[in-house]
Amino acid sequence: MKNSMMYEMMYQGRKISSQIIMRAMHNPRSDQNSTKYDFLKTLNHCRFKVGYYDKYKRVIYSEIENFDKFDQSFTINKTSCYSVLEDPSNHLGVRYIVLKESNLSAEMFALRMKIVAYLILSFIFMGIVGYFLARLFLAPVRNKIESLDRFITDTTHELNTPISAILMTVQTLKGCDAKKIKRLEASAKRLSTMYGSLTYRLQGEDRKEKIEPLLLSTIVEERVEYVRGLIDSKRLSVDLRLGKLVVDMDRESAVRLVDNLLSNAIKYSDPNGLIEIEISENRLIISDDGIGIDSSAQKDIFKRYKRANKERGGFGIGLDIVNSISKRYAIKIELTSQIDEGSRFLLIFPE
């Protein structure tokens, strides 16, 4: 745009110069000041403002105020641009013809607005096209995911009845090997815990929560006793140091929070290991001396389907549930873990 403006001003300047030369050649008496002034004043110079100066750079006639840059053929000063054409022959006493354009900034602004408008329209167009293409290409994937979700939901629902039946049958068995009954009961309860976690995850944000004050130590004791058979089967010791902590939570969410942390501690502990659970002030600490979590995996361990150990891992949703519950209730989680030394989960409840 600047180059176009410069060439246009130079072209108009030459046209004016040629008109001055033609006037000087055909009317020699036009050199008189009054005649020269009248001619220059009425000279057609298109849309630009014009100024005529003699060889001493004095004004003969000018529509331009305070111009002094005669040594540059084209200049831009803030919102205006100037073109200077020098005529060494001094026809009619005119040595310099100066043209001024004042609308350059407005034209530049209009150009910028046009570019921005085209860019916005382009992005909107690409967004619309991208949206429909994404829907088109992702439709098969979405259908597969929906089918998988329905399958998991239906399967999980169907698991509830046999698990409940197994637990009830175990409680009524008599005259059987006590160790086998305990092992069967522990496995059934582990299945029941997994069922509870899957159901909780599948319900997601659709589940209705009933917030009530809960004594956290009571929930911890209940869940430890619930999986006592699994703890005994691995010959684990559990050290409970439970202070009084009342939290305002949905009971099912509190149970899932404790269950998943306790289940991980059991799962990743070696036989004859120690699990420590402590409640003090507004903190819940669950630690074990098991296999630990590698530092490179710790940052992703709370993501869904991420497992620190594939040999002992489950579905990879336990810590994702813990993380989602913690976010919902503003509970801060801190993890400390080292390979072969165990893991320590610290939950800080809001005051």
The more confidently predicted of residues 187 and 4 is 4
For 26, the token pair is 């055909």
Q: 279: exposed, middle or buried (C-beta count within 10 Å: 0-12, 13-18, 19+)?
A: buried
**Angstrom distances, CA of residue 294 to CA of 139, 280, 305, 335, 345:** 38, 28, 17, 12, 14
Please check whether residues 97 and 213 belong to one and the same domain.
no
Domains of the chain: total: 2
CA dist., res. 75 & res. 86, Å (int)? 15
Nearest CA-CA partner of 329 in 282, 297, 295: 282
Q: What is the pLDDT of residue 31?
A: 62
Q: Is the pTM of this model over 0.85?
A: no
Q: Lay out the sheet containing 332-338: strands in order across.
A: 237-242, 274-280, 283-288, 342-348, 332-338
> What CATH number should be reported for the domain holding residue 20?
3.30.450
Please check whether residues 337 and 217 belong to one and the same domain.
yes
**Is residue 262 within a helix (H) or strand (E), and if so which, with residue range?**
helix 251-267
Q: At which of 51, 82, 102 does a domain end?
A: 102
The answer to whether 232 touches 271, Cβ cutoff 8 Å, is no
- Is pLDDT at 327 greater than 60 in this prediction? yes
**Angstrom distances, CA of residue 155 to CA of 34, 148, 272, 299:** 105, 10, 35, 31
**183: in domain:** no
Q: What is the pLDDT of residues 111-156, one digit of tens each?
A: 889 999 999 999 999 999 999 998 888 888 888 877 877 777 777 6
- Is pLDDT at 311 greater than 70 in this prediction? no
> What CATH number should be reported for the domain holding residue 243?
3.30.565.10
**191: in domain:** no
Domain residue limits at 35 = 2-102
Q: What is the pLDDT of residues 17-35, one digit of tens each?
A: 998 888 888 876 666 666 7
Torsion of CA 133, 135, 140, 144, to 10 degrees: 150
**149: in domain:** no
Share of the chain above pLDDT 70, in %: 91
**236: in domain:** yes
- How many CB atoms neighbour CB 319 within 10 A? 23
Q: What is the pLDDT of residues 42-73, one digit of tens each?
A: 886 778 899 999 999 999 899 888 888 898 88
Q: What is the pLDDT of residue 310?
A: 62
Please check whether residues 93 and 213 belong to one and the same domain.
no
When pLDDT is cut at 50, 70 and 90, the band that residue 97 belongs to is very high
Q: At which of 83, 102, 121 does a domain end?
A: 102
CA dist., res. 292 & res. 286, Å (int)? 13
Nearest CA-CA partner of 249 in 282, 278, 221, 226: 282
Q: At which of 102, 137, 160 does a domain end?
A: 102
Residues 76, 82, 86: CA angle, nearest 5 degrees: 135
**300: in domain:** yes
